[in-house]
């Protein structure tokens, strides 16, 4: 339970928290491109300073083979539970820049939202946690529990350094629960807590045809065409019915628990309409025998993200390309191991490849999914904190996205992982005009502060 003083502190200092977030968002901490390495260090230093100003006795920037981890620790109460909080300070590239209404690294406030790359994913959500921690530290109440915070700079590029840190089993990891604020809610009026994430396997499939590019007049009709081969292959792996034809994968899919199935089938959130509206489409596609919540939360996907090859400039060139590459990922229900699914995919590709082409599959990265039981005191405290702020009980639901480090925390620490996110479905985290609702920012810090207080024993 939050003391009044903590909530009053959050109200009183709200504008400064927003100003601080704005400063942090101005640093283009794009982890995927080497040219931003200096900005990554600046973004890490910014948050290091913030931890110090909050009063954390231990704050450290830990170098890695990639971008640094930032660690802060406040363990003043041996008898109290320890919460490990995870977040990330890196952001996705902002391109295409012309699609932004205001520059991605010059935060703008419009219609009750702050627009900037990283606003919801994840700097804004880390900032609301920092505000809650500062409020406990500064409002005269003292930190209610032991807190450890680990922030990484490689979330958008595979998260290898944090994975190594978690696997190292360091003492610093020891905690009774993990809190991650990097997901979204169904709506401002309908809060939710995430009880499941899908895993991911990301691959590249390359098809090779002739030894060199060919003229379609001289060779069309007899030459292999790798782009066409990829199209055939992909449509054999997943047909118009949305069913993925990888036999071993199909065999491993388990029916969902009855209570979740009932919730999905009843579609209390009118998700079909909402999704059509959000996407700007007339109808949903995919496996229509499963309701949308189940398709997003608990069924696997196979998506093509791009195909490279041949001629795509304006005008005409009648080339038959010698090779083509498709980026293909699978989202995987919790319990499936990406390495194993990769071997099944390779086998299916061999089986489905059109004759006359050589096809190679490369695994780019992967991470497991996660299912969290709603039956533990930490999740109950999170649900109560949400209800206190929103005046509405949260619904428990799975999210379709992947946070591989969440699954890793679950496996290594074996403690509850609380996925309490404050994004909204239309925030557009990886796209242009990414935003964070200011109302959610405010409610988020109130909720996290309340949650921390509830954990005190």
182/368 with CB nearer Zn ion: 182
194/207 with CB nearer Zn ion: 194
Query: Would residue 155 show up in a list of annotated catalytic residues for this protein?
Result: yes
Q: Characterize the bridge pairing of strands 69-74 and 58-62.
A: antiparallel
CA dist., res. 264 & res. 380, Å (int): 22
Q: Which of 90, 182, 260, 368 is catalytic?
A: 90
Least spacing, CB of residue 368 vs Zn ion, in Å: 17
126/322 with CB nearer Zn ion: 126
CA dist., res. 413 & res. 411, Å (int): 6
134/182 with CB nearer Zn ion: 182
Least spacing, CB of residue 243 vs Zn ion, in Å: 30
- Listed ranges 104-112, 176-184, 207-215, 329-337: which one lies at the site for Zn ion (CB under 5 A): 176-184
Please give the C-alpha separations between residue 221 and each of 216, 217, 320, 359, in angstroms, as whole numbers.
Answer: 8, 9, 11, 20
Residues 182-221 that bind Zn ion (CB under 5 A): 182
Least spacing, CB of residue 396 vs Zn ion, in Å: 21
Query: Would residue 12 show up in a list of annotated catalytic residues for this protein?
Result: no
Least spacing, CB of residue 370 vs Zn ion, in Å: 15
Q: CA torsion sign, 82 to 25 to 112 to 10?
A: positive
Least spacing, CB of residue 70 vs Zn ion, in Å: 15
Count of residues of this chain found to bind Zn ion when the rule CB under 5 A is applied? 3
Q: Could you count the other beta carbons within 10 Å of the beta carbon of residue 345?
A: 24
Closest of 199, 150, 175 to residue 404, by C-alpha:
199
CA dist., res. 31 & res. 391, Å (int): 38
Q: Which of 122, 134, 155, 368 is catalytic?
A: 155
CA dist., res. 334 & res. 6, Å (int): 38
Residues 374-403 that bind Zn ion (CB under 5 A): none
Structure tokens at 23: 């400063």
- Listed ranges 179-187, 215-223, 262-270, 366-374: which one lies at the site for Zn ion (CB under 5 A): 179-187
Closest of 323, 422, 401, 405 to residue 152, by C-alpha:
405
- Give Cα 83 distance to the centre of its chain: 21
74/202 with CB nearer Zn ion: 202
Non-local (6+) Cβ contacts of 16 within 8 A are none
Residues 291-330 that bind Zn ion (CB under 5 A): none
Asked if residue 122 has a cis previous peptide bond (ω within 30° of 0), the answer is yes
Least spacing, CB of residue 88 vs Zn ion, in Å: 6
Phi, psi (deg, nearest 5) at residue 318:
-90, 60
| Cα first-last separation, the chain | 11
122/260 with CB nearer Zn ion: 122
Least spacing, CB of residue 220 vs Zn ion, in Å: 46
380/430 with CB nearer Zn ion: 430
Residues 84-123 that bind Zn ion (CB under 5 A): 121-122
**Does the footprint of Zn ion cover residue 154 (CB under 5 A)?**
no
Q: What's the full length of the chain, in residues? A: 457
- Listed ranges 165-173, 174-182, 300-308, 408-416: which one lies at the site for Zn ion (CB under 5 A): 174-182
- Active-site positions read 90, 155
Residues that bind Zn ion (CB under 5 A): 121-122, 182
């Amino acid at each position: 339970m939050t003391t009044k003083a903590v909530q009053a502190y959050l109200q009183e200092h709200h504008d400064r928290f927003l100003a601080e977030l704005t400063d942090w968002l101005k640093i283009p901490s794009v982890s995927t491109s080497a040219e931003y390495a200096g900005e990554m260090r600046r973004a890490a230093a910014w948050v290091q300073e913030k931890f110090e100003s909050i009063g954390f006795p231990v704050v450290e920037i830990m170098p890695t083979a990639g971008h640094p981890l930032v660690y802060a620790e406040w363990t003043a109460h041996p008898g109290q539970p320890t919460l490990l909080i995870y977040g990330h300070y890196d952001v996705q590239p902002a391109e295409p820049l012309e699609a932004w209404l205001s520059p991605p690294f010059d935060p703008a406030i419009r219609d009750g939202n702050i627009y900037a790359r990283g606003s919801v994913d994840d700097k804004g959500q880390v900032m609301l946690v920092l505000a809650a921690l500062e409020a406990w530290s500064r409002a005269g109440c003292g930190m209610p529990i032991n807190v450890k915070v680990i922030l990484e700079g490689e979330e958008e590029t595979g998260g290898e350094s944090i994975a190594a840190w978690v696997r190292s089993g360091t003492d610093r990891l020891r905690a009774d629960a993990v809190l991650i604020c990097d997901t979204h809610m169904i709506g401002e009026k309908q809060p939710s807590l995430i009880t499941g994430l899908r895993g991911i396997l990301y691959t590249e499939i390359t098809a090779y045809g002739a030894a060199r590019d060919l003229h379609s007049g001289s060779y069309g009709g007899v030459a292999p065409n790798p782009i066409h081969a990829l199209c055939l292959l992909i449509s054999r792996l997943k047909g118009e019915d949305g069913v993925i034809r990888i036999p071993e994968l199909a065999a491993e899919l388990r029916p969902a628990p009855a209570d979740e199935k009932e919730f999905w089938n009843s579609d209390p959130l009118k998700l079909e309409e909402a999704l059509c509206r959000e996407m700007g489409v007339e109808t949903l596609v995919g496996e229509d025998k499963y309701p949308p919540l189940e398709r997003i939360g608990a069924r696997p996907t196979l998506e093509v993200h791009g195909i490279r090859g041949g001629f795509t400039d304006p005008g005409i060139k009648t080339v038959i390309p010698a090779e083509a590459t498709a980026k293909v990922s699978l989202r995987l229900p919790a319990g499936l191991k990406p390495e194993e699914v990769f071997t099944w995919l390779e086998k299916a590709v061999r089986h489905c490849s059109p004759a006359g082409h050589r096809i190679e599959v490369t695994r780019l990265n992967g991470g497991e999914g996660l299912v969290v039981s709603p039956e533990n005191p930490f999740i109950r405290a999170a649900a109560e904190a949400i209800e206190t702020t929103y005046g509405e009980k949260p619904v428990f639901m799975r999210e379709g996205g992947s946070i591989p480090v969440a699954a890793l925390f679950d496996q290594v620490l074996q403690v509850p992982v609380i996925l309490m996110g404050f994004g909204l479905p239309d925030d557009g985290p990886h796209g242009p005009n990414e935003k964070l609702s200011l109302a959610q920012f405010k409610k988020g810090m109130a909720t996290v502060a309340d949650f921390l207080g509830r954990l005190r024993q």
